[in-house]
Amino acid sequence: MKQCKLLILMMTLILSATVMAQVAPVLEPLIFDTPQQEERFNALTLELRCTVCQNQNLADSDATLAHDLRRKVYDMLMSGKTNDEIKQYMVERYGDFVLYRPPVQSNTYLLWLAPLIMLLAGGFVLRSSIKNRSALLDADDNTKE
């Protein structure tokens, strides 16, 4: 009997813990004074990357840090900070990675040049492959004659 009660208690605790782990944080709605503030907020959260998700912007991310960062953007916006000041704060805190369009500077050259380098490398590989295939076809034609 005692073991049965202990088992029921343990199962209840485990079930409670799993239910509590799935509860999403309660989000209070953000209230803006003007539609322009809301537009600025939406634009900023689309331009800033979630540092946890890495492939999502702040507007789309459900990560806890993204909620905190959206709140920080909102607080800074409501206190009268400009978009550049808000972005600068985020860059100082999280680095250029937080921006979807990082500035062109010495530490981001590879980031900006990588697509061109990959395109040139792909073109070189394609050209070499076509030349090798042509050479093989010519050699095959010569051996048949």
pLDDT at 118 over 90: yes
CATH superfamily of 30-103: Cytochrome C biogenesis protein (1.10.8.640)
Predicted structure pTM score:
0.59
Structure token digits, residue 72: 């920080």
Q: Could you tell me if 77 and 39 are in contact, meaning their C-beta atoms sit under 8 angstroms apart?
A: no
Distance, in Å, from the CA atom of 63 to the CA atom of 138, rounded to the nearest integer, reads 59
For residue 57, what are the β-bridge partners? 49
Whether the CA torsion 87, 89, 95, 98 is positive or negative: it is negative
pLDDT at 79 over 70: yes
Predicted confidence at residue 117, as pLDDT, reads: 92
Distance, in Å, from the CA atom of 42 to the CA atom of 58, rounded to the nearest integer, reads 9
For 10-63, the pLDDT digits (tens) are 777 777 766 665 555 556 688 888 899 999 999 999 999 988 887 888 888 888
Predicted confidence at residue 62, as pLDDT, reads: 85
For 88-111, the pLDDT digits (tens) are 999 999 888 888 777 777 777 777
Predicted confidence at residue 85, as pLDDT, reads: 95
Predicted confidence at residue 17, as pLDDT, reads: 65
Distance, in Å, from the CA atom of 71 to the CA atom of 90, rounded to the nearest integer, reads 13
Distance, in Å, from the CA atom of 31 to the CA atom of 37, rounded to the nearest integer, reads 10
Predicted confidence at residue 22, as pLDDT, reads: 56
How sure is the predictor about 112, in pLDDT bands with cuts at 50, 70 and 90?
Answer: confident
